[in-house]
Amino acid sequence: MADQLSRVFAALGDPTRRDIVARLAAQDATVGELAAPYDVSLQAVSKHLKVLEDAGLVTRTRDAQRRPCHLEAEVFNLMTKWIERYRSEAEERYQRLDAVLAQMQGRTIRSHDQGAAS
């Protein structure tokens, strides 16, 4: 069984599910409301929602006869922490590379200046 982060990224790998998440970020919606803009069946949208539910991104509640879907935004904290870790590491590598390039450029300028002085 995959860990939650893997399930979240896999769930977001589909453009329809990403669109559903974007729409749920604005407001809760029923399956019918979510299915309206797509040329697919309610069953197909329900399957997408099931994947999002299994990843912990979406929950369904009951409000009288209405069953709205709700985005669980705190799951994005897990993704953000993972992404931030690697972003920080990449940033450190770029800073080291910038320092090496600046040092190399300084040597090139000095050797060019010394050649011109001779």
Tell me what percent of the residues of the chain surpass a pLDDT of 90.
49
What pLDDT score does 1 carry?
46
CA atoms within 13 A on the CB side of 96: 6
How remote is the C-alpha of 75 from its chain's centroid? 11
pLDDT of residue 111: 65
Per-residue burial over 44-59, b if 16 or more Cβ lie within 10 Å, else e, is ebeebbebbbebebbe
Q: Where are the domains of the chain?
A: 4-71, 74-118
3-state secondary structure (DSSP) of residue 47:
helix
End-to-end Cα spacing for the chain = 70
pLDDT digits (tens, 9 = 90+) for 66-117: 889 999 988 888 888 888 988 888 899 989 998 888 888 877 666 666 665 5
Question: Residue 71 pairs with which residues in a beta bridge?
Answer: 58
In this predicted structure, the answer to whether residue 51 has a pLDDT above a threshold of 50 is yes
Position 104 scores a pLDDT of 83
**pTM attached to this predicted model:** 0.71
4-71 is classed CATH 1.10.10.10: yes
From residue 45, alpha-carbon distances to 24, 34, 91, 102, 118 in Å are: 13, 7, 39, 53, 76
